[in-house]
Amino acid sequence: MSILRATTLLLLATISIVPVAQAAQEVNLYSARKEKLIKPLLDRFTQQTGIKVNLVTGKANALLQRLKSEGRNTPADLLLTTDAGNLYRAQQAELLQAVESKTLESSVPAHYREPEGHWYGLSVRARTIFYANDRVDPKELGSYAGLTDPKWKGRICIRSSNNIYNQSLVASMIAHQGVAKTEEWVNGLVKNFARRPKGGDRDQIRAAAAGECDIAIANTYYYGAMQTSSKERDRAAAKEVSLFWANQDSTGTHVNISGGAVTRYAGNKENAIKLLEFLVNDESQRWYGEVNNEYPVKSGVEISGTLKKWGEFKADTLDLHLLGKYNAEAVRIMDRAGWR
């Protein structure tokens, strides 16, 4: 072989290797979680592994549409989003791939992950009842079903039916008790609305504090954020209401997750799995709870002081992939009931 030919072959080999080596040191993340809630963990991951994380944040639906439009050309290796319903939608759209990881399987309980490994829960949030301290006796409360009692007419605040959190709550009821009983519950709940649904979860809690309603349904981490907020009005509103754990005598309080999944066309699959595994280690689970007032998905991890003040509760152990399975039926029920 001539010196020129050997040199040429060596140069071509080097050119082909360089992009691979560079790709092996990065991972591209699409995240529906706000940057301030995830960036410090990503920086820590980079410090420990040397793998650079290229972060793109956005609304959950917008990120799903972006993945669809990009198709095979997407740079995304990993999707982080809120609610099992959104993860199910991504899976049904064939935007994800199943992965196997002993670390993920041992850290994430089976009901918090997709059975074939298409997505894994990373943190847990509860959607429960909040009541006005001066107008509601907690002895009057018990279950979600009890909120259809006529005594609550004109007293309940909740956000709109197009919110995935409410859709998943209704889907969980379908999974537990079937369509007929769930439809009866939704009809009864709508009759007790204090106002036309509007705003986010914080707005429901603020409305209860201000006397627009007496009961609010919201995710617990919003309540925690208000309790620790730098805004005096949010701290003041949080003091006017208390949390009540629903369904403690039956299925347990409805819970959901924020979760992660490796995208179908991930170019850095192994690094994406490494990042998922990092997010379920004890340090990450503890940090995330402290910052975002969510519960760790991994058992044995100490919860934050704010969460400890709320007390222990029985959580629903429903397999969360069912929330996606029954989402379409939940939306139809809500529409028929006039939940807008």
Tens-binned pLDDT, residue by residue, of the chain (340 aa): 444 444 434 433 443 333 443 445 999 999 998 888 899 999 999 999 999 999 999 999 999 999 999 999 999 999 999 999 999 999 999 999 999 999 999 999 999 999 999 999 999 999 999 999 999 999 999 999 999 999 999 999 999 999 999 999 999 999 999 999 999 999 999 999 999 999 999 999 999 999 999 999 999 999 999 999 999 999 999 999 999 999 999 999 999 999 999 999 999 999 999 999 999 999 999 988 888 999 999 999 999 999 999 999 999 999 999 999 999 999 999 999 999 9
Q: Output the pTM of the full model.
A: 0.90
- Tens digit of each residue's pLDDT (9 = 90 or more) over 65-97: 999 999 999 999 999 999 999 999 999 999 999
Q: Tell me, what's the pLDDT at 24?
A: 52
- Bridge partners (DSSP) listed for residue 80: 31, 260
Q: Can you name the CATH fold of 125-254+315-336?
A: D-Maltodextrin-Binding Protein; domain 2 (3.40.190)
Give CA angle at 220 (309, 237), nearest 5°: 80
On the 0-12 / 13-18 / 19+ scale of CB atoms within 10 A, 11 is exposed
- The length of the chain is 340
* Alpha carbons 161 and 165: distance in angstroms, whole number: 9
Smallest CA-to-CA distance from 275 within 101, 110, 93 is with: 101
Residue pair 254/158 in contact by the 8 Å Cβ criterion: no
- Tens digit of each residue's pLDDT (9 = 90 or more) over 2-29: 444 444 344 334 433 334 434 459 999 9
- Residue ranges of the domains in the chain? 3-124+257-301, 125-254+315-336
* Alpha carbons 196 and 189: distance in angstroms, whole number: 12
Q: Tell me, what's the pLDDT at 14?
A: 40
Is CATH 3.20.20.70 the right assignment for the domain spanning 3-124+257-301? no
- Within its chain, how far is the Cα of 154 from the centroid? 30
DSSP 8-state secondary structure symbol assigned to residue 304: P
Positive or negative: CA dihedral 27, 32, 35, 41 = negative
- Bridge partners (DSSP) listed for residue 31: 57, 80
| Residue-wise burial string across 211-250, b where 16 or more C-beta atoms lie within 10 A, e elsewhere | ebbbbbbbbbbbbbbbbeeeeeebeebbebbbbbbbbeee
- Tens digit of each residue's pLDDT (9 = 90 or more) over 121-134: 999 999 999 999 99
Note whether 3-124+257-301 and 125-254+315-336 share their fold. yes
* Alpha carbons 262 and 48: distance in angstroms, whole number: 21
In degrees rounded to 5, what are phi and psi of residue 115?
-55, -35
Helix (H/G/I), strand (E/B), else coil: 117? coil
Residue reference for tokens 């006017």:
240
